[in-house]
Structure 1
């Protein structure tokens, strides 16, 4: 049985979607911001034309890449809509990037024009910027930066239109690049088509996205989960409430004030919300359902306490939500069942299927073309490796029970997930090795009391070196996003190795947090997200 028909350009392409919704539902609410201001579909189209005209003045043409380094807010939405009105590719980046990670994504972005918040500009001064030449600065005036032509935010609101396209846009055209975590190498750039994103959010998320819903988007726009909510509701003529970020102490207030009916809660969000003492107001809200990953006992308790439906899923940026549960599944840890039009096998290291009930790597393909990621941009080797034997290899280990329900077990790839962020162990290790006195480093994920992982670094010092872990923490804090700096550090005379001298990370994971491990949080060092704007 196949999934729903392949989308038409008018159904999937942002420019045509926005024009259609503004024509058919001009006065209906599309976007509500944290300050209470709103855009109807007609107003959003006007804002999109203005932003497109500004980008066009800076030389952006159809097919170009536009770099977006902005927090959630009106400017970021203008950047997205304006980029797509021109038929250009939207390239959002994590606000925590700095140093070598920032340099790497700028190389991948291939963008001559970008939109950057004023508070982030100093980080651009520290790295090679490759093609980036012109930047619209959001958030106020900025000091000149050698090699960059800076423009004020006001140009995004000047009257103008996108003009005609050089050619019509199609569902298989590239719409965005999402940077995902590296596994055994640097971060990759996932190239997504309009058809891919439409399938993910329009076709596969019926309990989250829809015309009848007002969806809270509190994940950052540089995440597929944040960007996808905005696009998914546009495709459904539904409304979005866009806020800067998830905050435990503000969540229910935002839900009540803005009439939120659906949202996504990932990682530690539900345990954080459950940590608040019970209240008579626990069910005094408009929230109907949430996407909750992973589907833990805490999720069931959350549903019971707050009267909110929850559903589970399995997906990744490269996929289109192939596995999904109904609302309120009974089984703890379930991801759901396979959607129509999707094909999933659980295989061993030779791509041979494992027996029923056994754990295997999930590999997928689907009936419709263009509804999974197109490629890893500028990385043909990784693209070929992921798509070997005609199947997309996820690197994730799942099992399937006799009822046909899938359960996520672990990651085969060398990645760590902390508070909803995927972390490349390789990238953290590279920065640790740059610190004086470090001979070797192995970064692993260890169990957290907040679900998902905490980051732990096992370090082998150079001969005679005395590593100051306080100094190392400070060093890493200037070179890595806050969420990638390890919480735990363990100094070891040597690291466990295979006969071929590869580090045995499984042995380090088995050891976990040992008596000789230093915990920076216990030492009073807590690193938090830097507020931009």
Structure 2
């Protein structure tokens, strides 16, 4: 396979687009307005000058504690020109979580807004007034070489669903692979992806639409009631939505104008069990893939969706294996851990910042270990079973929490569900489900248990049920099961055995 073309690396590509497509919309922040390719490049140059004045240079890390906005993205590209590395931080982080990231990345500079500055070490902080012009030297990039595929684009902290976040060293080359991973996006498309800029899903759209000369529409956080108005207002032709987002859209009462929208496809994952009905209701194609911060997007369905549980097939450029605890490959149909390696250099993570032991453990035997349990069928379709640490071991059965959750959300009064393993008297685990009922639902745990007993295999029926107003989430809408496991037995936990 051919090596990555350095001309596709985002900062250099954007500088050329600012001349070729100067007046075309590049970024549309639904809250703060439109920015053409030339507008955005000017902002990048402003921030490049600012960072240079603050002494930022090659190898320095710049922590950015900002909402998802055009300035956050322009700061990212400016860091690239100086061979510095942006560390985007979730603005929801405070206290110990914020200190963990800052201590871990040891930034040369922190850029934030005024109402967050008092939480930081003032000696290393620049307080930014969002959107306000800065001194602009159009020659600030003169003499600077375009960033290369092997340069580090960002340190992106993992969601931390199972423990403290680790900083993933993400090379620019990994962003380039997003263009081919999302192969339904083409020239002139308008992509709507309301994902946070401190996550890979909020960064790769800039790469994809710049490649095709398209437009990226975003907002600072997904809002169910704004999804379709945003799509219609800005003529969005493609959209991304994780499972929880798609489920929230699906659960809204049907409207006569559901199909009256410009979207041609929605990509997200995992797919809803009712994905075909979703596609018909809204007049879109549904696609899915498997991706992670450390590995990009090695699996995708394209338009060939064989089963809502499948992530698709291996993409060109990646080798995939499913292995046991000793890294020995297991046959089709058997569950094991997915491990990955790429044909081309600089298309996957280069390690965890300051964590050589974690890096070596993840990359042992020359393969990146995803921590995800998968199985593969004879046709080469890959099925995500669970996070390895989330699978529940109950009475000698390995139970997928994802499959439990899918069956629980089949109840018409369940909006969301998270299944976890909790300690059992026999030394293994019991299943607990944390359930968010639909609005105005009168659902109670005993009635839900009766429904599940009639519809689930006996060994999968949860022993414990707890009804919640909401589930703890990461910024990418993944459930933080580590929070649910911290105190698994609360006063609100209903026990099916005790009740019986």
TM-score, normalised with respect to structure 2: 0.79
Alignment of 1:390-405 (within 5 A): 390-405=366-381
2:169 is equivalent to residue 172 of structure 1: no
Residues 1:291 and 1:94: Cα distance change in structure 2 (over 3 Å) = same
In the TM superposition, what is the alpha-carbon distance from 1:526 to its structure 2 partner?
A: 8.8
**Aligned counterpart for 2:429 among listed residues 504, 507, 519:** 507
Consecutive unaligned residues of structure 2, counting only runs of 5 or more, are 393-400, 436-444, 447-462, 476-500
The reply to whether residue 38 of structure 1 matches residue 25 of structure 2 is: no
- 2: CA distance, partners of 1:84 / 1:70: 18
**Partner residue of 1:247?**
223
CA distance 1:529–1:119, change in 2 (3 Å): farther
Query: Which residues in structure 2 correspond to 1:110-121 (within 5 Å)?
Result: 110-121=106-117
Is the 1:112–1:134 Cα contact (8 Å) retained in structure 2?
A: no
Give the alignment of 1:153-168 within 5 angstroms.
154=132, 157-161=134-138, 162-164=140-142
Match of 2:63 among 67, 78, 103: 67
2:125 to 117, 131, 134: 134
Kept in 2: contact 1:111–1:132 (CA 8 A)? no
**Alpha-carbon deviation of 1:167?**
5.5
Structure 1 match to 2:301: 325
Shifted more, 373-382 versus 156-165: the winner is 156-165
Residues in 1 aligned to 2:197 and 2:146: alpha-carbon distance in whole angstroms: 26
Cα 1:270–1:132, aligned 2, differ >3 Å: closer, same or farther?
farther
Cα-to-partner distance string for 1:221-280 (whole Å, 9 max, x where unaligned): 111111111232223322111212211111111100011111111021112111222222
Q: Which whole-Å deviations, capped at 9, do the CAs of 1:21-65 have from their partners, x for residues lacking one?
A: 112222222112214732221121111111211222222123321
For residue 510 of structure 1, report the CA deviation from its aligned partner.
6.0
Aligned to 1:10: 7
Distance 2:245 2:472 in 1: 18
Pairwise CA RMSD: 3.1
**Pair 1:106-2:97 in alignment:** no
Question: Which residue of the partner structure matches residue 489 of structure 1?
Answer: none
Distance 1:528 1:296, change over 3 A: closer
Q: Following the alignment from structure 1 to structure 2, what is the Cα–Cα distance between the partners of residues 244 and 512?
A: 27
Alignment partners' CA distance in 1, 2:240 and 2:78: 26
Counting only pairs closer than 5 Å after superposition, residues 445-456 of structure 1 correspond to structure 2 as 447=405, 449=409, 454=418
Counterpart of 1:421 in structure 2 is none
| 8 Å Cα contact 1:10/1:20 also seen in 2 | no
The CA deviation string for residues 426-479 of structure 1, in whole angstroms up to 9 with x for no partner, is xxxxxxxxxxxxxxxxxx998474687548797xxxxxxxxxxxxxxxxxxxxx
Q: Residues 252, 227 of structure 1: CA spacing in aligned structure 2 closer, same or farther, 3 A cutoff?
A: same
Contact 2:362 2:368 in 1 (8 A): yes
Task: Return closer, same or farther for 1:354/1:270 CA change in 2, 3 Å cut-off.
Answer: same
Larger mean Cα displacement after TM superposition, 157-166 or 169-178: 157-166
Separation (CA, whole Å) in 1 of partners of 2:193 and 2:312 = 23
Find the residue that maps to 2:116 and give its secondary structure. helix
Q: Kindly state the Cα deviation for residue 300 of structure 1 after the two structures are TM-superposed.
A: 2.2
SS of corresponding position for 2:63: strand
Which of 231, 242, 254 in structure 1 is aligned with 2:207?
231
Q: Equivalents in 2 of 1:235, 1:66: separation in Å?
A: 26
For structure 1, which runs of at least 5 residues remain unmatched after alignment?
140-152, 417-443, 459-494, 499-503
Distance 2:105 2:216 in 1: 27
- In the TM superposition, residue 211 of structure 1 has moved relative to its aligned partner by 2.5
- SS of the equivalent of 2:16 reads helix
Of 172, 182, 185 in structure 2, the residue corresponding to residue 205 of structure 1 is: 182
Is residue 363 of structure 2 the alignment partner of residue 387 of structure 1?
yes
Query: 2:167 is matched with which residue: 177, 189, 212?
Result: 189
Pair 512,87 (structure 1): closer, same or farther in 2 beyond 3 Å: closer
Secondary structure of 1:222's counterpart equals coil
* Equivalent residue, structure 2, for 1:413: 389
Correspondence 1:18-57 to 2 at 5 A: 18-35=14-31, 37-57=33-53
Pair 528,412 (structure 1): closer, same or farther in 2 beyond 3 Å:
closer
* Corresponding position: 1:299 with 2:275: yes
Matched residues, number: 434
Q: Distance in 2 between matches of 1:457 and 1:344?
A: 28
* TM superposition score normalised by structure 1: 0.74
